[in-house]
Amino acid sequence: MFLIFRNENTDDDGYNKKTKTEGKMAQMMDNSVGDDSAIIRIDHLSKVFAGKTKTVIADNDISFEVMRGEIFGLLGSNGAGKSTLIRILTTLLSPTSGQAFVNNYDITKDQEKIRSIIGVCPQNYTSDVELTAYDNLEFYGKLQNVPDSILPDRIMELLKMAGLEDRAYMPVSTFSGGMKRKLEIVRAFIHHPLILFLDEPTIGLDPDARREVWQQIMTLNKEHTTIILTTHYMDEAEKLCGRIAFVDRGKLLALDSMENLRQLIPAGDLIEIGVAHMDPLAEEAIRKIDLVNAVSVVEHMVTISATNGSRVITSILAVFEQYAIPVISISIRSPSLEDIFIYLTGKGIDSGNGTCNEAARRKSP
Amino acid sequence: MMPVVLKSAIAIFKRDIKKFLSNPFIIMMALLSPIMFLIIFGNAMGGTLTHIPVGVVQEVPPYNDTPLFTSAAYQLNHISQGSENNAEKELDVTIYTDEAQAKQDLANGKISAVIVFPSSVSNDNAVRVYVDSSDSTTPPLIQAAVTQVLLELGANHPVIVDKIYGDITYIEFFGVGIIMMAIFTSTSFGGGIALIKDRENGIHEGYLVTPIKRSSIIMGIIASGTVRAFIAGFTIFWIDLLITGIILQSFQNFLLVLLVIFIACVGVTSLVVSFASRFSVQQEYQSVIAFLNLILFFTSGAFYPVIGMPGWLRWITLINPEYYGVDALRSILLRNQGLNVIGIDLVALLIFSMAMIILGVVTYRRTLE
């Protein structure tokens, strides 16, 4: 990880924990910006879409803050209200109730000012596919008032950053999904925005392309940019985000750093040991070890839940040796975001919709 | 085998019907179009020409009116058109004392004909009719009216008709209207649809989050639409000249035509864009545009002189940019008239364009809602 987090703050309204970032990155931000205050403040924000037949509450009384310089993740299943929230913060939609401030500008009053300090990469491809990569960047550069004198250099710099310099003068319609996405991300960054919003930046990309996009996001974050991304991929949030907000059906379920979220699950780490046979006495002995919370044996698999798995493992193995039980396999895993999400919502992140969760599939044992 | 075929056919049928019913706006427009076709086309095309402005004047000297002149002027002013109970005056007669002045007004399009009656001392006792022949419908009507009045008065003066713009065929009359139509169609499928396609494809979402202003978006689109429309209008102008055989009288006229086409392009494009700024679905926009095309084209006077339309329809022509475009182009191409005559059309087009640009900017949706 490139950010080290220390949880310092306490609850303000039950679940909404504010976390103060403190690490190499955070310190660098502190020096450059002068404070580590919240760059985005959302206060009891709600959005209701009133239709003819039914009313949909997309965001329901959401409050949280995003700190300067962090990579903030909004995690939730499709239709959880992530994109609506992003659209409100980027002035594309107005909230039904509540307030939000982006760099101290009110989203309902100072839209012009907000638009000039944000960069947005929407969920859908919004590049003009008939134009070349260069033309697309030039168009956005002009809309963002990048001075003409530096624009050509800036465009080439961005194309290089996205690894697309050899394709500068090719129409975007010839690009692969990953190339288009990378182009859009650098496009959002053309005017060095204070805040970069990325709505599902890696949706529909293959693993290689995703890794490249992640790399790009981390690079951009090093340029003093606060990044807010939405995703429904657990591994993405885990890899990139300093703090993660879980959103489900328009509600904010939890907000914290990965470390702290893990502790929400009482079970701790999961240790799975494969054996040929199991001795009930050994099971009892393991149960007595400090830090072990629960032990269960299903056929040839012993599953132990322990507060600190890596430290306990030696004591557990000693028990197996003592009872002369040959160990076939060992695995220790920390609870993933998926486990936390299931714990918080009582369902899998993709349950109820048809999309398949690549992250979840790769994580499953 | 058969049931499977039927089952799939029914599935497709159901899907199409569901889609059809899901958009009441398009259904409404689909029904409205033929109805409007009936009302507009029926009224704009077959209408009897009434209130044709004509001037009457008596040759001088002497300066006193002959009985023939007085009675003929009165009779001409009271000729009715149509059936007894809703008869409308056919001619609106203005009495001139100066033949030169009357002809001047005819040349400037203020009146459609000048009827010159011989004086008592005239050695040539013919009644001369100078008629604006830039449309093919009015000259025979005026000529018939004059003949009828002379017959009723028992006067046996010969009638000499002078078509001041020569024999203008219907295709020459109609051709200039096609230039306006080309401008409309190219701009509605150019500027307007591009705007909606961008919105439909979500490309808007990309640039609405930049500090771009509504006025910039509207002005940019109108500018590009105008260029496209101008290219179309200019091309059709040449094709029109080739097909109809109209000859440009001077280089100045050519420049005037360019000016009119350009200003008409701004007017029509701003109208189309101000409409497009509200729509988010191509289908809805297209049904409205087809409808608009119909109304504007039929009320532009391209087919038939505007003077033949009922009053309520003529109100539409007043706010129809195509009417001013057609009128100005006809003035230049068929009547060899200059800026003094078409100036009013250009001013009307500019006022119209300004109003539409403001409307477009105000109604443009800056958010996704």
What top-level class would CATH report for the domain A269-334? Answer: alpha beta
Query: Residue A316's pLDDT band (boundaries 50, 70, 90)?
Result: confident
Residue bearing the bigger pLDDT, A73 or A57: A73
* The model's pTM: 0.75
Q: Do B209 and A145 touch (CB under 8 A)?
A: no
pLDDT of residue B110: 87
Contact call for residues B226 and B190 (beta carbons, < 8 A): no
Q: Is the pLDDT of residue A352 over 60?
A: no
Domain identity same for B224 and B332: yes
B98 found inside a domain:
yes
Q: Is the pLDDT of residue A319 over 80?
A: yes
Q: Do B208 and A92 touch (CB under 8 A)?
A: yes
Concatenated DSSP letters of B318-332: HT-HHHHHHHHHHHH
How many angstroms separate the Cα of B262 from the Cα of each of A304, B227, B243, B359?
81, 8, 22, 20
Q: How many CB pairs under 8 A join A and B?
A: 54
Domain identity same for B112 and B186: no
Domain identity same for B293 and B347: yes
With contacts defined as CB-CB under 8 Å, which chain B residues touch A144? 210-211
How many other C-beta atoms are found inside a 10 Å radius of the C-beta of residue A23? 15
Question: What's CA B315's distance to the chain center, in Å?
Answer: 12
Domain identity same for B66 and B146: yes
Contact call for residues A265 and A96 (beta carbons, < 8 A): no
Domain hosting residue B134, numbered range? 52-163
What top-level class would CATH report for the domain A5-262? Answer: alpha beta
Q: Is the pLDDT of residue A301 over 50?
A: yes
For the segment A103-118, what is each residue's pLDDT rounded down to a tens digit? 999 999 998 899 999 9
Contact call for residues B189 and B158 (beta carbons, < 8 A): no
How many angstroms separate the Cα of B155 from the Cα of each of A50, B61, B113, B140, B152?
79, 21, 21, 20, 8
Contact of B367 with chain A, judged by CB distance below 8 Å, is answered with yes
**Could you tell me the CATH number of the domain that includes residue B75?**
3.40.1710.10
Residues 6+ apart with CB under 8 A from A71: A3, A217, A218, A221, A226, A227, A228, A229, A240, A241, A242
pLDDT of residue B290: 84
B348 found inside a domain:
yes
Residues 6+ apart with CB under 8 A from A34: none
Q: Is the pLDDT of residue A33 over 60?
A: no
Q: Do A92 and B203 touch (CB under 8 A)?
A: no
Contact call for residues A215 and A227 (beta carbons, < 8 A): no
Domain identity same for B341 and B213: yes
For the segment A183-192, what is each residue's pLDDT rounded down to a tens digit? 998 899 898 8
Domain identity same for B208 and B310: yes
With contacts defined as CB-CB under 8 Å, which chain A residues touch B369? 93-94
Report the candidate in B111, B31, B21 with the shortest Cα–Cα distance to residue B291: B31
CA distance linking residue A4 with residue A54, whole number of Å: 45
How many angstroms separate the Cα of B332 from the Cα of each of B134, B298, B319?
11, 21, 21
Length of chain A (residues) = 365
Number of domains in chain B: 2
pLDDT of residue A293: 79
Domain identity same for B181 and B151: no
Domain identity same for B204 and B116: no
Residue B26, judged by CB atoms within 10 A of its CB (0-12, 13-18, 19+), counts as middle
CA distance B29 to chain A (A): 21
Residue A124, judged by CB atoms within 10 A of its CB (0-12, 13-18, 19+), counts as middle
The helix or strand, by DSSP H or E, that contains position B342, with its residue range, turns out to be helix B339-363
Q: Do A143 and B369 touch (CB under 8 A)?
A: no
B35 found inside a domain:
no
B350 found inside a domain:
yes
Q: Do B209 and A140 touch (CB under 8 A)?
A: no
How many angstroms separate the Cα of B322 from the Cα of each of A307, A333, B344?
80, 74, 14
Domain-ending residue, one of B123, B148, B163: B163
Query: Which regions in chain B score pLDDT beneath 70?
Result: 1-2, 45-47, 81-87, 121-123, 190
pLDDT of residue B81: 66
Q: Do B203 and A128 touch (CB under 8 A)?
A: yes
With contacts defined as CB-CB under 8 Å, which chain B residues touch A115? 209-211
With contacts defined as CB-CB under 8 Å, which chain A residues touch B221? none
CA distance B202 to chain A (A): 6
For the segment A137-169, what is each residue's pLDDT rounded down to a tens digit? 999 999 988 999 999 999 999 999 888 999 999
B248 found inside a domain:
yes
* Phi, psi angle pair for B116, to nearest 5°: -105, 120
Domain identity same for B175 and B256: yes
Contact of A127 with chain B, judged by CB distance below 8 Å, is answered with yes
Domain identity same for B154 and B191: no
Contact of B205 with chain A, judged by CB distance below 8 Å, is answered with yes
DSSP state for residue A53 in the 8-state scheme: S
CA distance linking residue B200 with residue B361, whole number of Å: 19
Residue bearing the bigger pLDDT, A232 or B45: A232
Domain identity same for B108 and B239: no
Contact of B24 with chain A, judged by CB distance below 8 Å, is answered with no
Domain residue spans in chain A? Answer: 5-262, 269-334
Nearest residue, CB atoms, A93 vs list B201, B211, B368: B368
CA distance linking residue B22 with residue B335, whole number of Å: 52
Contact call for residues B281 and B306 (beta carbons, < 8 A): no
B145 found inside a domain:
yes
Contact of B369 with chain A, judged by CB distance below 8 Å, is answered with yes
pLDDT of residue B254: 93
- Mean pLDDT over A214-235 rounds to 88
Torsion of CA A81, A83, A84, A90, to 10 degrees: 150
Domain-ending residue, one of B163, B189, B217: B163
pLDDT of residue B83: 55
Residue B153: left (phi > 0), alpha (psi -120 to 50), or beta? alpha
Apex A193 CA angle, A191 and A197, nearest 5: 120
- Mean pLDDT over A208-225 rounds to 86
Apex B314 CA angle, B310 and B319, nearest 5: 160
Q: Do A92 and B205 touch (CB under 8 A)?
A: yes
CA distance linking residue A240 with residue A185, whole number of Å: 15
* Phi, psi angle pair for A175, to nearest 5°: -85, 150
Contact call for residues A67 and A36 (beta carbons, < 8 A): yes
How many other C-beta atoms are found inside a 10 Å radius of the C-beta of residue A344? 17
Alpha helices in chain A, H assignment, sequence order: 24-33, 82-89, 111-117, 133-143, 151-161, 177-188, 207-222, 234-240, 258-262, 280-288, 309-322, 337-345, 358-363
- Angle (deg, nearest 10), helices B251-276 and B339-363: 20
Domain-ending residue, one of B116, B137, B163: B163
Domain identity same for B129 and B191: no
B1 found inside a domain:
no
Q: Do A124 and B202 touch (CB under 8 A)?
A: yes
How many angstroms separate the Cα of A220 from the Cα of each of A122, A124, A226, B335?
17, 21, 9, 67
How many angstroms separate the Cα of B296 from the Cα of each of A152, A301, B159, B262, B313?
45, 80, 39, 18, 11
